[in-house]
A = this chain, B = another copy of it.
Amino acid sequence: MYSLSEENYLKAIYHLEQLHKKEVSTNALAEKMDTKASSVTDMLKKMAEKNLVNYKKYQGVQLSSLGKETAINIVRKHRLWEVFLVEKLNFSWDEVHEVAEQLEHIQSKKLTAELDKFLGFPKRDPHGDPIPDAQGKITLAKKKLLFDLVPSEEGVCVGVKDSTKEFLQYLDKHAISLGVKIEIIEKEAFDQSMLVKIEGTIKRITSSISKNLYISY
C-alpha cells in the first residue's frame, strides 16, 4: 500500500505531533528521521499529493485523517509485536524496539487481528504505552511520573519515558520492571531524591530516575 519510507515518515510525524501538539517542522522531522531537511521537503510534497499529510510551504506539516489512521495502525502493530517478543519469545524490553521497527511494516489485516487475539488483547506494550484497538481508538492511559508522587502514595510501574538501552539496563540491574509495585516512603526536599519500597526492599531513587518512570495506580 504505502512504501516503507512513507510509513516511517507517517510514524515520525505522528509521534512529533503527539509530543508538541502542533504542526511538525521540516527540521524536526529531518532530525527524527535522521535525514536532511531537503529530503523531507521532497517527501512531504509527495505525501501531500497522496493525501497523507497537509502540507504548505514553510508552514510545517500535519497528518491528514488518512495519514493519522495509517500511522496509528503502524503504532498498533509495533506495540503488539513488542508484547509478543517480550511475552512469548523471551526478549527483554530493551531488545524489542529494533525488531518491532521491522515487524510493524508487515501488511496483513488478519495477521494483526490474530496476533492481538493470541496475546489476549493487551492494553499496553512492554514500555507501558497504550495499544490502539483495531479501530485506532486509544483509551488514554492514566500514568504519572514517579517523580510526581508524594509520600505514602503507591502504584505499579507501567512504563518509561526515556527508553534508551542504558536506562532500561539500569532498571533491570535494580530489579525495576513493568508491573512491580512501588511505594513512596519519603522525598528529600533538597535534591528531590526519593526513598521508595520496591517489591519489599527499600531503595533511594534519584530524580533523574523518577522523572523517567511512569506509574499507574
Spell out A's residues near B (CB within 8 Å): 85, 88-91, 95, 98-99, 102-103, 105-108, 110-111, 114-115, 118
User: A91-B114, A99-B111 are known contacts; what are 14 more A-B pairs with Cβ within 8 Å?
Assistant: A89-B110, A89-B114, A89-B118, A90-B114, A91-B110, A95-B110, A98-B108, A99-B106, A99-B108, A99-B110, A102-B105, A102-B106, A103-B103, A103-B106
Q: Which residues of B contact A118 (CB under 8 A)?
A: 88-89
Q: Which residues of B contact A95 (CB under 8 A)?
A: 110
- Give Cα distance in the complex from A89 to B84, angstroms: 12
- Give Cα distance in the complex from A165 to B4, angstroms: 28
Q: Which residues of B contact A103 (CB under 8 A)?
A: 103, 106
- Give Cα distance in the complex from A103 to B106, angstroms: 7
A59 to chain B, nearest CB (A): 35
